[in-house]
């Protein structure tokens, strides 16, 4: 049902401005459960609430749909966040070996091309950069240079499959680094949508609670149903 609610609200959420979306200060599971509790609580107050101006269809009847959409949006974001955080862990394990592999390949090329000043200059250029993205590009550049100059490598009986491995590693590491960087930046579309879904839900909760607290300000028994137990 949450997925259906999410699909119902998605076009509206996408039309919202990101700068208008609020990051939740209360855990989403708490917000959604309180919204569902509030929906049940207000049923017997429908006539009184509407009599002082609450738009029942826009806020009350839409509350479960907003809550379901928010719950599902949170799930989507948490899955993506988990996937990205896992990518960071995998990157931290694999990248040191990749840097070592890159350095070993460069050392091998320096030896194989030691009598070719032109090729040594190209190796030097490849080795000149630094950083994660540069290392990935280096693996590709090393493979391209080596495969274009096989004679010197054949002379030293070099295993040319290592350059195929370099290209394969570059592809895998580029995808992994992209996912890992996403976790570091934490600016994903899924998070943006989650914040919008929360903001949309909060709008309805606030409107209902504000109306109910005013209406029942002298009736403690009914008033309590319009207060967040979490925040209290």
Counting residues of the chain whose pLDDT is more than 70, the rounded percentage is 97
Q: pLDDT tens-digit profile of 32-66?
A: 999 999 999 999 999 999 999 999 999 999 999 99
Q: pLDDT tens-digit profile of 146-194?
A: 999 999 999 999 999 999 999 999 999 998 888 787 654 455 788 999 9
Q: Which helix (H) or strand (E) holds 184?
A: helix 161-185
Q: What is the DSSP letter of 56?
A: I
Residue 229: helix, strand or coil by DSSP?
Answer: coil
Largest CA distance in the chain: 94
The values of phi and psi at residue 101, to 5°, are -60, -45
Other Cβ atoms less than 10 A from the Cβ of 197: the count is: 32
Whole-number Å distance between alpha carbons of 182 and 88: 9
Which range is least confidently modeled, 62-66, 102-106, 133-137, 188-192?
Answer: 188-192
With CA atoms as reference, report the closest residue to 205 among 59, 20, 73, 72. Answer: 59
pLDDT of residue 64: 96
Give the start-to-end residue ranges of the domains of the chain: 2-83+188-226, 95-185
pTM beyond 0.85: the answer is no
Structure-token pair, residue 151: 């004679």
Sole residue written with tokens 């609430």? 49
User: Is the distance from CB of 49 to CB of 215 less than 8 angstroms?
Assistant: yes
The values of phi and psi at residue 58, to 5°, are -70, -40
**Position 231 pLDDT exceeds 80:** no
pLDDT of residue 84: 81
Structure-token pair, residue 88: 């960071």
User: Is the distance from CB of 170 to CB of 140 less than 8 angstroms?
Assistant: yes
Q: 179 versus 214: which is more confidently predicted?
A: 214
User: Using a CB cutoff of 8 Å and minimum separation of 24, what contacts does 18-24 make?
Assistant: 18/192, 18/195, 18/196, 20/199, 21/192, 21/195, 21/196, 21/198, 21/199, 22/195, 22/198, 22/199, 22/202, 23/195, 23/198, 24/195, 24/198
Find the helix packing angle between 2-15 and 189-215, rounded to 10°: 100
pLDDT of residue 219: 95
With CA atoms as reference, report the closest residue to 193 among 32, 1, 17. Answer: 17
R_g of the chain computed on alpha carbons: 29
Whole-number Å distance between alpha carbons of 96 and 203: 48
């Amino acid at each position: 049902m949450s997925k259906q609610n999410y699909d119902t609200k998605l076009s509206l959420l996408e039309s919202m401005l990101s700068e208008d979306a609020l990051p939740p200060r209360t855990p989403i599971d708490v917000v959604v459960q309180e919204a569902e509790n509030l929906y049940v609580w207000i049923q017997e107050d429908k006539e009184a609430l509407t009599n002082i101006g609450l738009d029942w269809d826009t806020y009350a009847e839409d509350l479960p749909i907003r809550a379901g959409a928010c719950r599902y949006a949170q799930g989507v974001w948490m899955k993506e966040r988990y996937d990205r955080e896992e990518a960071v862990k995998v990157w931290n394990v694999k990248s040191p070996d990749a840097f070592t592999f890159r350095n070993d390949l460069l050392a091998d090329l320096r030896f194989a091309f030691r009598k070719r000043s032109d090729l040594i200059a190209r190796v030097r250029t490849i080795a000149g950069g630094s950083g994660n993205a540069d290392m990935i590009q280096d693996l590709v550049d090393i493979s391209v240079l080596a495969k274009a100059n096989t004679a010197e490598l054949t002379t030293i009986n070099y295993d040319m499959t290592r350059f195929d491995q370099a290209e394969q590693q570059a592809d895998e590491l580029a995808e992994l680094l992209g996912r890992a960087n996403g976790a570091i930046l934490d600016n994903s579309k899924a998070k943006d949508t989650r914040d919008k879904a929360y903001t949309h839900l909060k709008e309805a909760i606030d409107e209902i609670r504000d109306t109910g607290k005013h209406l029942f300000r002298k009736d403690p028994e009914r008033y309590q149903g319009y207060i967040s137990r979490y925040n209290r």
